[in-house]
């Protein structure tokens, strides 16, 4: 038997939305690689859940029977270390408590995986205000909240030690943002915002030794069952190309010391494939012949340019949806 240390040994991690699906697979993978994990998923009052954010109960806020506690128990049964947290990451104080729990339980936080999310799909002309607000709140604000308190923790540690610390953030974006998914204006906007947040965070925290990257995963989960309803189920004993287990190893890698040079990147991952997305490029540039552009001058340079481009081509990249292994 090898005596080599596990890649994430002595590291602690928080995974949000980890009670089921993609987050669960990610939490299990981080634990398998040696990390102590705080499994976050919103509690279910009346179904055995206790909301840690509301302060009922004590310690970890865990309660047997909730998805978060079930995953934590699964990790512990396999010999790992895990506690559950049932707070809402979109609530500022609950997010503070989540990061604080990792520090209280494990002495520090090393890895933050933001995964929690919801879907409220509808075309932009029929979307309600609540459908917009709820998706932006859970996805974008939820990512910000946890990032804000993790960043504060790492900055304080770096200042105290006088040098860089170990910190990894992995955020969850989506191909819906890249492709401009027509029926998901709220989701695409939130996921695009998460990429912007990730790039800003990567720049701000690099000097402290912290990296921040975003992934666009494709996985068959409870949240996406309607999205992937048209995709064929795998044959018996075959590996599902949409299984969350295809995504989890990338999370483990980005959380590890091996990924120290990976920062401010966007990666698409599913079905045994990882694609590193290129940064936006300047397609064309025009300078005014005078001091300030006029309407007529813009019409003169831009109208022919766009007339010469393929019809329907936009900043969106729908071809990303055709990426496959092989």
Residue 237 is predicted with a pLDDT of 67
Residue 65 is predicted with a pLDDT of 84
Residue 45 is predicted with a pLDDT of 38
Closest C-alpha to 52, from 69, 35, 28: 69
The answer to whether 188 and 174 are in contact (CB under 8 A) is: yes
pLDDT tens digit string along 106-163? 999 999 999 999 999 999 999 999 999 999 999 999 999 999 999 999 999 999 999 9
Q: How large a percentage of the chain has pLDDT more than 90?
A: 83
Residue 221 is predicted with a pLDDT of 52
54 pLDDT above the threshold of 50: no
Burial class (CB in 10 A: 0-12, 13-18, 19+), 108: middle
The most distant pair of C-alpha atoms in the chain lies apart, rounded to whole Å, by 75
Q: What is the mean pLDDT of residues 279-292?
A: 96
Q: What is the mean pLDDT of residues 159-173?
A: 98
Confidence of residue 326 (pLDDT cuts 50, 70, 90): confident
168 pLDDT above the threshold of 70: yes
Q: Which residues carry out catalysis?
A: 174, 187, 191
261 pLDDT above the threshold of 60: yes
Q: What is the mean pLDDT of residues 277-305?
A: 97
pLDDT tens digit string along 190-214? 999 999 999 999 999 999 999 999 9
Closest C-alpha to 190, from 114, 87, 254: 114
Residue 50 is predicted with a pLDDT of 30
Q: Which residue has the higher pLDDT, 225 or 208?
A: 208
Among 25-34, 52-61, 167-176, 258-267, the range scoring the smallest mean pLDDT is 52-61
Residue 242 is predicted with a pLDDT of 82
Residue 51 is predicted with a pLDDT of 29
The residues, ordered by sequence, that sit 6+ positions from 279 with a Cβ below 8 Å of its Cβ are none
Q: What is the mean pLDDT of residues 254-266?
A: 98
Whole-angstrom distance, CA of residue 66 vs CA of residue 52: 12
Q: How large a percentage of the chain has pLDDT more than 70?
A: 86
Q: What is the mean pLDDT of residues 231-238?
A: 60
Q: What is the mean pLDDT of the chain?
A: 90
* DSSP 8-state assignment for residue 318: G
The answer to whether 277 and 225 are in contact (CB under 8 A) is: no
The answer to whether 33 and 251 are in contact (CB under 8 A) is: no
Residue 48 is predicted with a pLDDT of 34
Taking the chain, what is the end-to-end CA distance rounded to the nearest angstrom? Answer: 34
Whole-angstrom distance, CA of residue 232 vs CA of residue 93: 42
């Amino acid at each position: 038997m090898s005596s080599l240390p596990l890649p994430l040994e002595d590291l602690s991690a928080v995974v949000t939305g980890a009670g089921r699906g993609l987050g669960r697979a990610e939490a299990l993978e981080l634990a398998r690689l040696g990390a102590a994990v705080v499994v976050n998923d919103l509690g279910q009052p009346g179904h055995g859940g206790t909301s840690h954010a509301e302060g009922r109960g004590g310690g970890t806020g865990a309660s047997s029977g909730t998805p978060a506690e079930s995953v934590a128990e699964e990790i512990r049964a396999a010999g790992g270390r895990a506690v559950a947290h049932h707070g809402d990451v979109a609530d500022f104080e609950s997010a503070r408590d989540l990061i604080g729990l990792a520090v209280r339980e494990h002495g520090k936080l090393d890895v933050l995986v933001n995964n929690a999310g919801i879907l409220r799909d509808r075309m932009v002309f029929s979307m309600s205000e609540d459908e917009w607000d709820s998706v932006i709140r859970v996805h974008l604000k939820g990512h910000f909240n946890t990032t804000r308190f993790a960043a504060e923790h790492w900055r304080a540690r770096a200042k105290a030690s006088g040098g860089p610390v170990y910190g990894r953030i992995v955020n969850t974006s989506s191909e819906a943002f890249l492709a401009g998914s027509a029926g998901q204006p709220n989701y695409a906007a939130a996921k695009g915002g998460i990429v912007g947040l990730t790039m800003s965070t990567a720049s701000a925290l690099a000097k402290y030794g912290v990296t921040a990257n975003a992934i666009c995963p494709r996985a068959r989960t409870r949240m996406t069952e309607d999205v992937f309803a048209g995709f064929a189920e795998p044959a018996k004993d075959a590996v599902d190309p949409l299984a969350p287990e295809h995504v989890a190893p990338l999370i483990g890698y980005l959380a590890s010391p091996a990924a120290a040079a990976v920062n401010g990147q966007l990666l698409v991952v599913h079905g045994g494939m990882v694609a590193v997305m290129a940064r936006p490029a300047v397609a064309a540039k025009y300078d005014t012949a005078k001091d300030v552009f006029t309407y007529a001058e813009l019409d003169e340079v831009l109208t022919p340019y766009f007339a010469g481009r393929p019809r329907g081509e936009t900043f969106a990249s729908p071809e990303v949806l055709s990426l496959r292994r092989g």
